[in-house]
Amino acid sequence: MLVSHDSDMLSSGNTVFREVRKCASPEIMGILTKAREFLKTTVADSTREIYSRDWKSFACWCSDHRLTDLPSTPDVVICYLTSIAMNGLQIPTIRRRSAAIASMHRAAGYPSPTSHPAVKELLRGMTRKLGTPPKPVDALLSEDIKKMVAALPDTLIGKRDKALILLGFAGAFRRSELVELDVEDIQHRNEGIVILLRHNKTDQMNKGRYVGIPYGANPETCPVRKFKLWLDESGIADGAVFRGINRHGQIASGRLSRRSVGDIVKHAAKAAGLDAARYSGHSLRSGHCTQASRAGVPEHIIMQQTGHSSKENFAKYVRLGRIFEENSAKEIGL
């Protein structure tokens, strides 16, 4: 049964609200419609998209093997998770696929087969056997960013990419935060710009938070000046800030994808003579943490910029970036 996540969420609403639907009064139906909207927002939009792709993978696998996907059974899920592990998928992806299966079953009003003890034991066994930390990407430091920006052409695409890279580095933004940015989220101040992040990975309740981007000392690498230049040159006055541009210089109406941020970073790194394979869109965020830490900026101030709520997660960024700077092996006389 290959269906969309949203339609299943609504079918869940139909199951839950079967009794009140008997009333069928206009007032109750209006309330029911609003309740369905609230149900749809229990999962972040970005997570819903990922879960939808993961569910499609599971549904296709079941179809290929003539198995039922909804509702499924623990033994089917065990075989599926084992199959994708044998194909080289990593533990975080396998666990996410399992979560997607659970989410779809809950949305459709069925008990989740992933709650069975055998499935949980399988995941624990996979973690012990296959669990390895993800391969880290290198942090981009200030000198790297300066080289990358200098290497980009003075074209419309180049101006967009300069603005994206400098803003991403100064704001320590995630890829999703960059591509979801709208012109309406920007406030111009004498000191720089203030950006409202309406959604982010750790803000499941969509409270939002503000991030300040000050003017830089060097006009060629100032994130505020390059950002304003991009808006002026592109003519973008509302909606998505960062958009695609075709080979004729025409700007798309839709926003860039998160993958595009990584592609832009890699392209700029290659143009600057860096090894593009070592970097990704995440290198901007991790680079800010590393560079600020090396400059002696207190942790709580860096975390205020990055939006980290956990010191443990924040420390992972800094620890890897300073792995040779803070290293006892340098002092043991070898």
Does residue 201 carry a catalytic annotation? Answer: yes
Does residue 266 carry a catalytic annotation? Answer: no
Q: CA 152, 260, 133, 318: dihedral to nearest 10 degrees?
A: 50
Catalytic residue (choose from 97, 159, 226, 285)? 285
Catalytic residue (choose from 51, 80, 279, 317)? 317
Most confident of 158-172, 199-213, 240-254: 158-172
Beta carbons of 59 and 2 less than 8 angstroms apart: yes
CA 92, CA 24: separation in Å to the nearest integer? 45
- Looking at residue 332, its pLDDT comes to 77
- Looking at residue 288, its pLDDT comes to 94
Does residue 311 carry a catalytic annotation? Answer: no
Between 92 and 119, where is the model more confident? 119
Catalytic residue (choose from 162, 174, 225, 255)? 174
Structure tokens at 250: 């025409």
Does residue 105 carry a catalytic annotation? Answer: no
CA 20, CA 196: separation in Å to the nearest integer? 40
pLDDT digits (tens, 9 = 90+) for 6-35: 444 434 444 455 555 566 677 777 787 777
CA 86, CA 84: separation in Å to the nearest integer? 5
Q: Per mean pLDDT, which range of 1-5, 144-148, 259-263 is the poorest?
A: 1-5
Neighbours of 153 (CB within 10 A): 11
Task: Tell me the chain's radius of gyration from C-alpha atoms.
Answer: 24
DSSP per position, 145-189 = HHHHHHHS-SSHHHHHHHHHHHHHHHHT--HHHHHT-BGGGEEEE
- Looking at residue 130, its pLDDT comes to 80
Beta carbons of 69 and 1 less than 8 angstroms apart: yes
- Looking at residue 165, its pLDDT comes to 97
Longest dimension (CA), the chain: 83
Catalytic residue (choose from 34, 201, 319, 330)? 201
Question: Which among 48, 125, 114, 127 is positioned nearest to 80, based on CA atoms?
Answer: 114
Does residue 116 carry a catalytic annotation? Answer: no
**String of b and e for 163-186 (b: at least 16 CB within 10 Å)?**
bbbbbbbbbbbbbbbbbbbeeebb
Neighbours of 237 (CB within 10 A): 8
CA 299, CA 285: separation in Å to the nearest integer? 15
Catalytic residue (choose from 5, 105, 160, 282)? 282
pLDDT digits (tens, 9 = 90+) for 282-323: 999 999 999 998 888 888 899 999 988 778 777 776 776 677
- Looking at residue 2, its pLDDT comes to 43
Q: Per mean pLDDT, which range of 4-13, 60-69, 263-272, 287-296 is the poorest?
A: 4-13
Average pLDDT, the chain: 85
pLDDT digits (tens, 9 = 90+) for 158-187: 999 999 999 999 999 999 999 999 999 999
Query: If pLDDT is split at 50, 70 and 90, which confidence band does 132 have?
Result: low
Does residue 279 carry a catalytic annotation? Answer: no
Between 208 and 80, where is the model more confident? 80
Neighbours of 190 (CB within 10 A): 5
